[in-house]
Amino acid sequence: MERLTDLIYEAAMDPAGWQPVFEALSALASARGTVMYSIGQGPARFLHSPSLADVVQDSIETGAMAQNNRITRRVALDHPGFLGDQHLFTPEELAASQHHREFLHRHGLGWCAATLINPPSGDRLMVTIERNREAGPVPDEVIAKLDTLRPHLARAALLSARLRLERIDAAASALEMIGLPAAVLSVSGRGLAMNTLLAELIPSVLQDRQERLAISDRLADLTLAAALLAMRNEAESAPRSIPLPATEERPPMVAHLVPIRGAARDVFSTAMALLVLTPVRHGTVVAAEVIQGLFDLTPAEARVAHGIAAGRTAEELARSLSVSVETVRKHIAAVLAKTGLPRQAALVGLLAGSVPPGLR
C-alpha cells in the first residue's frame, strides 16, 4: 500500500503516472481496469486502463454516460469513500437497471467500486474500478483498503489541478510576450487566466461577466456564444475567428477562439479554449495571406476579400483573376459567411481598418 501511495503522488506530477496507479488499484480489487472521468459541463474527459479502452469508446459513441445511474446515485449519496454497486442499488434495482443490462453486461462488466472527488477545477471526478460481472461485488474488506487510499487520490487530484492552472497562466503570459491579448476560457466560457494586455481591453472590448467572458459588441458576442456552445458540445471542433468592428477609439479586431485539445485538456482541467485578439491597424489593407489565416479562407476567397477591401469591384476582380463575375460573387458570399459579417461594407471596414457608418 505504501508503494501505491507513492505512485499516486508521482501521478499528480506526471499524467503518464496514472497508468501504474490504475493497474495497482485494479489488482487490489481483482478488477479488469480503472477509469477516472470528469462530471460537469461539456463532454466527459477520461483517463483509463488500456483494458477498458473499448468500453470507454463505446460509452462516448453511444451516449451511455447519460444513462449511467451509478453517477446519479453516487452524487446523491455524497459518501466520502468508495461504494460498490451493492451499496448503490437493491438487488431488484440492479436487475432492472438499464445501464447495467444494456451497457455494462454487454461488455462483461457489472460490478465496481467508485468514489467521487471534488478538485478545485469545478468539475467532479469519478474514480471507478470496474470488475467483471461473474466476479461478483467488490468485497467490503477491499473497499475498506480503497478508502485508506482515497485521501491520497483526492490530494493528488488537487495537486494536478493546481499544476494545470499554473500552466494555463504561463500560456497566457507567453502570448503577452509577443504582444497578443489572450485568455484561457473554461467550459462555461469563464476566464481561467488572462494576460494584462487582454485585461486592459475590459470593459471597452470585452466584459468579464459572472457567467462568462463576453464581447462588448452585441453581434460579435452572439457569435462567440454560439462558438462556445459548439465547442462545449462537440468532441472535435474547429477554431473560430470572430470580427470585432472598429470604433472611434480603436481599430477593428479579430477574436480567435482556439479549442484546447489532447494532453493540454485532461480530467484535471476545465480549460476548453484559448481566446486571442488580433488588432487590424488603420490605413492599410490586410494582406491576402493574413486574411486567409485569420478566417480559414481558401486562397481564392482571400484574394477576393483583399480586392474588395482595396475598393475593387466584382467586375474588376473577375477580369484580373480570369474568372466570371458570378464566381467572384460566390467567393464574396463565402467570405461573409465565414467571417460572420452581415454585408460587404462591414468586410471592407474590418480589413481596411475603417469604421463603416452602419457599425459606428
DSSP 46-91: EEE-GGGHHHHHHHHHHTGGGG-HHHHHHHHH--SS-EEHHHHS-H
Give yes or no: residues 182 and 56 share one domain: no
Q: Is residue 166 part of a domain?
A: no
Per residue in 53-84, pLDDT (tens digit) is 999 999 988 888 878 899 888 888 888 899 99
Indicate the helix (H) or strand (E) that contains 283.
none
Cα separation, 91 vs 98, in Å, equals 14
CB 31 within 8 A of CB 129: yes
Cα separation, 287 vs 309, in Å, equals 10
- Mean pLDDT across the stretch 266-294? 67
* Set of cell numbers at residue 334: 463565402
Q: What is the pLDDT of residue 274?
A: 83
- The residue length of the chain stands at 360
CB 180 within 8 A of CB 252: no
Q: What is the pLDDT of residue 352?
A: 61
DSSP secondary-structure letter at 261?
Answer: -
- 3-state SS assignment for residue 143: helix
Q: What is the pLDDT of residue 81?
A: 92
- 3-state SS assignment for residue 123: coil
Give yes or no: residues 11 and 130 share one domain: yes
Where among 134, 161, 188 does a domain terminate?
161
Select, from the ranges 124-128, 176-180, 237-241, the one with the highest average predicted confidence (pLDDT).
124-128
Give yes or no: residues 304 and 272 share one domain: no
Pairing between β-strand 206-208 and β-strand 213-215 as defined by DSSP bridges: antiparallel
Higher pLDDT, 4 or 347: 4
| Burial label, 66 (beta-carbon count in 10 A; 0-12, 13-18, 19+) | exposed
Give yes or no: residues 267 and 332 share one domain: no
Q: E-strand spans in 71-178?
A: 83-84, 109-117, 124-132
Q: What is the pLDDT of residue 165?
A: 67
How far from 194 is each of 43, 87, 169, CA to CA, in Å?
Answer: 24, 44, 7
Q: What is the pLDDT of residue 285?
A: 57
Q: What is the pLDDT of residue 357?
A: 37
CB 339 within 8 A of CB 241: yes
Indicate the helix (H) or strand (E) that contains 282.
none
CA angle 35–41–45, rounded 5-degree value = 25
Q: What is the pLDDT of residue 27?
A: 95
Cα separation, 215 vs 82, in Å, equals 44
Q: Please, what is the average pLDDT of the chain? A: 82
Q: Is residue 326 part of a domain?
A: yes
Lowest mean pLDDT among 30-44, 177-191, 279-293, 338-352: 279-293
Q: Is residue 209 part of a domain?
A: yes
Cα separation, 280 vs 351, in Å, equals 7
Select, from the ranges 36-50, 225-239, 258-272, 307-321, the one with the highest average predicted confidence (pLDDT).
307-321
- Mean pLDDT across the stretch 128-146? 95
Where among 279, 305, 323 does a domain terminate?
279
- Mean pLDDT across the stretch 306-320? 87
Residue 96 confidence (pLDDT) above 90: yes
* Set of cell numbers at residue 15: 499524467
Q: What is the pLDDT of residue 354?
A: 45
pLDDT band at 43 (very low <50, low <70, confident <90, very high): low
Q: Is residue 194 part of a domain?
A: yes
pTM, 2 dp? 0.59
* Set of cell numbers at residue 347: 468586410
Give yes or no: residues 263 and 346 share one domain: no
Cα separation, 278 vs 286, in Å, equals 12
Give yes or no: residues 182 and 49 share one domain: no
How many CA atoms does the CB half-sphere of 229 hold within 13 Å?
Answer: 6
- Mean pLDDT across the stretch 148-171? 78
pLDDT band at 123 (very low <50, low <70, confident <90, very high): low
Residue 5 confidence (pLDDT) above 60: yes
Indicate the helix (H) or strand (E) that contains 180.
none
Cα four-point dihedral sign 161, 162, 163, 165: positive
- Mean pLDDT across the stretch 92-113? 94
Q: Is residue 167 part of a domain?
A: no
Q: Is residue 170 part of a domain?
A: no
Q: Is residue 169 part of a domain?
A: no
- Mean pLDDT across the stretch 34-56? 84
* Set of cell numbers at residue 310: 482595396
